[in-house]
């Protein structure tokens, strides 16, 4: 599935399985949320099943899909990943497997996101204030009903749940799902694809590379290889 911009809209087609680039879309009743501040988003589904998104209510066919809200992004002192113990790559296996099975997200993808986000250090904090293994913003964690953003299990479950929401939103497109995890789903919708941010494009490439690597090996310690 490829998203294309047309008159301020993104046309999301139904899921097509394309090997690595497709995630399974399941009908899970989950709340929609944005990772970044943005305007309201509207959508409608046409007779061919094509989903149209727009930042304004273009006509009577569009219904409110997502209400924009300011996010409480707060900077502060960055805490880069510092854990260098090789055991960290298997320390959270049970949580990763449980969350991946619950939300039907490939386990290897969860590992790839954790690797790129925090290098498996639950104490990591970004300059923007994202925290924990899957680098959740506090406001996103709140929407995801994460009780303790610093708790590895809670953080993993919140992050994987977010991936599930984004995978559903973008009809299983891996690239758009990862871009939205990094830059916010509204940014992806607004730009009709991966936003033109160097950091986001690098993020998508790195996570995809690790995902490919983990799919080809069952050794979790391979996560330590750059």
197, 222, 182: which is closest to 35 by C-alpha? 182
For residue 125, count other CB atoms closer than 10 A to its CB.
20
Nearest-angstrom CA–CA distance, 172 and 188: 14
117 is catalytic: yes
Nearest-angstrom CA–CA distance, 37 and 169: 17
> 215 and 196 in contact (C-beta within 8 Å)?
no
Six-digit token string for 10? 């993104």
Nearest-angstrom CA–CA distance, 28 and 213: 28
Q: Given 117, 142, 185, 226, which residue is catalytic?
A: 117
Six-digit token string for 143? 């929407």
Catalytic residues: 117
């Amino acid at each position: 599935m490829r998203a294309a911009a047309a008159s301020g809209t993104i046309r999301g087609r139904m899921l097509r399985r394309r090997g690595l680039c497709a995630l399974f879309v399941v009908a899970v009743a989950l709340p929609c949320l944005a990772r970044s501040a943005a305007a309201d988003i509207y959508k409608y589904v046409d007779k061919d099943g094509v989903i149209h998104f727009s930042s304004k209510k273009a006509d009577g066919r569009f219904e409110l899909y997502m209400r924009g809200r300011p996010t409480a992004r707060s900077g502060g002192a960055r805490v880069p990943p510092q854990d260098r113990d090789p055991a960290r790559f298997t320390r959270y296996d049970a949580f990763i497997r449980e969350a991946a099975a619950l939300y039907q997200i490939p386990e290897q993808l969860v590992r790839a996101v954790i690797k790129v986000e925090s290098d498996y250090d639950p104490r990591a904090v970004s300059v923007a204030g994202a925290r924990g293994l899957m680098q959740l913003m506090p406001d996103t964690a709140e929407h995801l009903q994460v009780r303790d953003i610093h708790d590895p299990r809670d953080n993993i479950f919140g992050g994987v749940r977010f991936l599930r929401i984004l995978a559903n939103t973008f009809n299983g497109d891996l690239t758009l799902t990862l871009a939205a995890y990094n830059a916010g789903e509204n940014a992806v919708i607004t730009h009709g694809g991966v936003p033109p941010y160097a950091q986001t494009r690098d993020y998508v490439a790195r996570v995809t590379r690790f995902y490919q690597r983990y799919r080809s090996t069952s050794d979790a310690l391979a996560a330590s290889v750059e």
